[in-house]
Structure 1
Amino acid sequence: SGHSRGVMLTHGNLVAIIPHNYFNLCPADSYLNLLPLAHIFPLQIALFTLSHGVRQIYLHDLTRISEVCMEYHPTGMIVVPRILEKVLEKMKERLETLEGWRKKLGVWALDLAFRPRSMVRMLLRPFADFFVYRKLRQGLGGKMRVIINGGATLNPSLQRALNSMGFPIFQGWGLTEASTVTVNRFGNNKEGTVGKPYPGTVIKISTHGEVLVRGPTVMKGYYKDPVATAEAIDEKGWLHTGDIGSIDRRGRLKIIGRLSDSFKNSRGQYIIPSPIEEKLRSYPLIDYTLITGENEPFVTALLFPSVAELDKLRGDMSPEEFLKSPLFQREVDQIIREVNTTLDEWERIRDYRFILEPPTLANGELTPTLKLRRQLVLGKHKGLISSLYQSAH
């Protein structure tokens, strides 16, 4: 999403992961790919699945996911977090159409899926599965056994809930310069992590917290740009990915955020926006968000509301009127309070502004994997951000 460079990926880079069939792929499988092949993640997954004889189904109209799944009954799906969030929204909408005890049962089962693991949850799950979850799985064709998430990390609570409902989510991680680096797999699928590296690939964390990669998937370099290549790949062959992460005792990687997105406030304290933004986006009312506060005394947020959720709540009011209403202010203030209780003092959100115009691929504010183009959005709303700090200057 920054300055464009030509990334030289060899045939060897792209086929390095193919021998490692962690998902037991076979010609009886069919995979639904919802992402453009211009992005390295869906492209490499397409090569990987095709090499094992898997049928490919391509769909770019996200409103037709359920319809296409009911027609083709895919056994796998390639997604980014935004798509899974939309799938969950559709499930909630489906439950809202029910009446009486069926609706109450559906709401209870959905709440159960989001609860932390416990003995009570384990005992109640078969009941919820029989009456609710198995019917929701039918909405995705009823045969889904692998959902591969990439492009960005998934909120652990959402992954836990979908796994509980019988949607097996496996997170992987990579970047254009190294294609796919890590992946979770059957028997070793830890929520909140992006898995272990493929054989032959090594990862480590630098003293600055940056994830470094060395192995057969790392690019040859940037096309006709030796200076940029030398900046990205050091003399020992380590690719500096720009992602901040940690490695657990079992060798699984957790991605925390982007090095380029992190900033210092006016007191010199580091803030990584991604985890805060992820928490805000777990609320149905908020579609996208950007945390700001570089060289400022406190943190603020730009919030993009969910149009569908606004339409549900605003009644006869226009969206602009509803954003100014006491009901809306109470809802948002409660969200901010809840999120702030999970943050350190210097990370807490002191003020916010809502932006009604949604970010889209068409207006250039979203990447092909449906992530915000941070610098573009920050630049576009520079005046609005400045207004959040007027009282502090």
Structure 2
Amino acid sequence: MREYSTPINIEIPTTGNLTDDIVTNATDYPDVVSFSRRVDGAWTDVTAAQFLGQVRAVAKGLVAAGIGEGDRVALISKTRYEWTLLDYAIWCAGAVTVPVYETSSAEQVEWILSDSGATAVVAETAAHAARVAEMRGSLPDLRHVWQLDEGAVDELVALGASVSDDDVERRRTALTPDSLATLIYTSGTTGRPKGCMLTHGNFMFELGVAVEELHQLFDDEDSATLLFLPLAHVFARIIQIGAIKARCRLGHSADVKNLVADLGSFQPTFILAVPRVFEKVFNSASQNAAADGKGRIFDHAADTAIAYSKALDGRRVGLLLRARHALFDKLVYGRLRTALGGHCAYAISGGAPLGERLGHFYRGIGLVVIEGYGLTETTAALTANLPETSKIGTVGRPLPGTGVRIAEDGELLVKGGQVFTGYWHNPEATAEALSPDGWFHTGDLGEIDDEGFVRITGRKKEIIVTAGGKNVAPTVLEDRLRAHPLVSQCMVVGDGQPYIAALVTIDPESFPQWAEQHHKTGAIADLTEDPDLIAEVERAVEEANKAVSQAESIRKFTILPVDWTEEGGQLTPSLKLKRNVVSREFRADVEALYSR
């Protein structure tokens, strides 16, 4: 059993709660710009003092509405300024925030509201409010539904006009590190979502060490980040709270169609994204270059960036490589950095493995990608590659105060102050996940090297065992396959079968350009048997197979006529594959891979 821990290097508060940050900011730094928010198409500054005033006013409305201390209040909304405002107002009222993905189905919403016993819901749109109204009869605890697009914030402010500052302050200061801050329901690749109980202390521990360790992101007085991932996910949520704690200017962008324009006008110094976003940026740049007849130049530029990054690890960058890198910095890399706003030096990647190739590429163009590892149950990051101590291809070392251990069966176990207290109303699941001595069973398989760097090798429950007894971790192959511009999603199969195979879907955004270049007519569904398309995917499969042994390699694949999406039910909101859903819906396609 291999184990590694990093000693705590700061003092974690034993009193107080997350709302102390906004009070401190407003008292000591009242004129510092905490937010830039979109108002009539332009960014408008919100100072620390203004934000605290708005939070208190909304909190008064919640108190006046009868929201009690410890009550659960659900938020169903895209990422926007009001999400953050309400999050802190709910805490100042002594209540608990229950985030709900705005894309959740009616059945998922009903389960979360029912299981959490939510007494109020703040919904973004009329469609969200209507979804809640349909199930109102099965939610006896629900007393209020407010709608953001119909003036929910102003309504709450007006409602709380008679509530005093002292009433809110009493509730706010009654919260301790042990108080429940939020119930985040895991999106769940199988079964019903479970409510993860995260305390104010969990967040205080996580951010106490993370902000200190990632000081390069937060120390600059001009530091700023633009949130575009869902705040219902713990990944974006922890950055929200961390930015406020560190007095880093924060913005919100919910519409990915306007993301490039928003990045350009907001000009963040760091961003956070899931690997699929980094893949899309790379693939789009590659395809655009090919369409302009500059595909070979981009390919050489990408290879140079990767080689340059790898050379940095050895601290030896040759003169020729340095010269090529400088040339491509003017021709290619600078344009990519401009697309991120022109001031972005760091990016945080999480939610899934980024892969060594993309990690080296982005560092090679001048964007340091900080890849970490964590789960909802661990209040986001447990480990991280820090700017000064990084090993691309791993998820870094444990953060201070955190221990990692590899169990006899290869499962990664973790321990630290950021580990949740358990699952809401689910003692059986809690007992299964948390050992009596505080180690949390992540369900992921991993390795720890001699320097303490952690590498995630797969999911314990997703291991495929072939008919020949070979254990295969599908994620290694799937991550490599998805790196190809034409591949959207894929699922490796072969449990109990004589060889490994794969289902592959085509990226609907990349396909039109490929079809035009290859003089193809028709939709994806018309070309699943097209020799050129098959050959393109075959090259992606061959590249993926380089990462595994012959016994683990993909021998056959089939191209599906439809893509897998969150709306279709095959992906979770954090874009993880629901293997049980795909296996059920495409059972005939899997069987065909072994009957042909």
The question of a shared fold, defined as TM-score above 0.5 by the shorter chain, is answered with yes
1:54 aligned residue: 248
TM-score by structure 2 length? 0.62
Correspondence list, 1:169-208, <5 A: 169-179=369-379, 180-208=381-409
1:325 aligned residue: 530
- With over 3 angstroms needed to count, the CA separation of the structure-2 counterparts of 1:188 and 1:259, relative to structure 1, is same
* CA shift digits 1:286-342 (9 cap, x unpaired): 111100011111111000112233212323421333322222222223333343344
1:68 aligned residue: 262
Unaligned runs of 5+ in 2: 1-187, 312-317
- Count residues with an aligned counterpart: 389
The answer to whether residue 222 in structure 2 is matched with residue 18 in structure 1 is no
Measured in 1, the distance between the counterparts of 2:467 and 2:296 equals: 49
CA positional deviation for 1:193: 1.3
> Which residue type is aligned with residue 348 of structure 1?
S
The answer to whether residue 301 in structure 2 is matched with residue 109 in structure 1 is yes
Correspondence list, 1:300-379, <5 A: 300-314=501-515, 315-318=519-522, 319-379=524-584
The percent identity for this pair of structures is: 30
* CA shift digits 1:51-71 (9 cap, x unpaired): 111122222332322211111
The answer to whether residue 336 in structure 2 is matched with residue 136 in structure 1 is yes
CA positional deviation for 1:41: 1.3
The answer to whether residue 590 in structure 2 is matched with residue 385 in structure 1 is yes
Measured in 2, the distance between the counterparts of 1:94 and 1:388 equals: 34
* CA shift digits 1:229-275 (9 cap, x unpaired): 11111122110000111112221211111111112111222111000
- Which has more radius of gyration? 2
Aligned partner of 2:231 among 37, 40, 53? 37
2:173 aligned residue: none
Any conservation in 1 of the 2:466–2:496 contact (CA below 8 Å)? yes
2:195 aligned residue: 6
Any conservation in 2 of the 1:35–1:368 contact (CA below 8 Å)? no
2:326 aligned residue: 126
CA positional deviation for 1:190: 1.5
Correspondence list, 1:112-261, <5 A: 112-115=304-307, 117-118=310-311, 119=318, 120-179=320-379, 180-261=381-462
Q: Greater CA deviation, 242-251 or 353-362?
A: 353-362
Correspondence list, 1:67-86, <5 A: 67-86=261-280
Any conservation in 1 of the 2:395–2:454 contact (CA below 8 Å)? yes
Q: What SS does the corresponding residue of 1:19 show, helix, strand or coil?
A: helix
TM-score by structure 1 length? 0.93
2:476 aligned residue: 275
CA positional deviation for 1:161: 0.5
* CA shift digits 1:104-160 (9 cap, x unpaired): 544432332244735353442122213321222111111002200111110110110
The answer to whether residue 479 in structure 2 is matched with residue 285 in structure 1 is no
Q: What SS does the corresponding residue of 2:404 show, helix, strand or coil?
A: strand
- With over 3 angstroms needed to count, the CA separation of the structure-2 counterparts of 1:309 and 1:90, relative to structure 1, is closer
CA positional deviation for 1:219: 1.0
Measured in 2, the distance between the counterparts of 1:350 and 1:58 equals: 44
- With over 3 angstroms needed to count, the CA separation of the structure-2 counterparts of 1:287 and 1:194, relative to structure 1, is same
- With over 3 angstroms needed to count, the CA separation of the structure-2 counterparts of 1:310 and 1:93, relative to structure 1, is closer
Measured in 2, the distance between the counterparts of 1:343 and 1:193 equals: 17
> Which residue type is aligned with residue 127 of structure 1?
L
* CA shift digits 1:358-393 (9 cap, x unpaired): 2222112222222222221121111211121124xx
> Which residue type is aligned with residue 41 of structure 1?
F
Q: What SS does the corresponding residue of 1:227 show, helix, strand or coil?
A: helix
Measured in 2, the distance between the counterparts of 1:28 and 1:35 equals: 22
> Which residue type is aligned with residue 489 of structure 2?
Y
> Which residue type is aligned with residue 167 of structure 1?
L
Any conservation in 2 of the 1:15–1:48 contact (CA below 8 Å)? no
- With over 3 angstroms needed to count, the CA separation of the structure-2 counterparts of 1:321 and 1:368, relative to structure 1, is closer
Structure ranking higher in helix proportion: 2
Q: Greater CA deviation, 340-349 or 111-120?
A: 111-120
Measured in 1, the distance between the counterparts of 2:208 and 2:398 equals: 14
Any conservation in 1 of the 2:283–2:484 contact (CA below 8 Å)? no
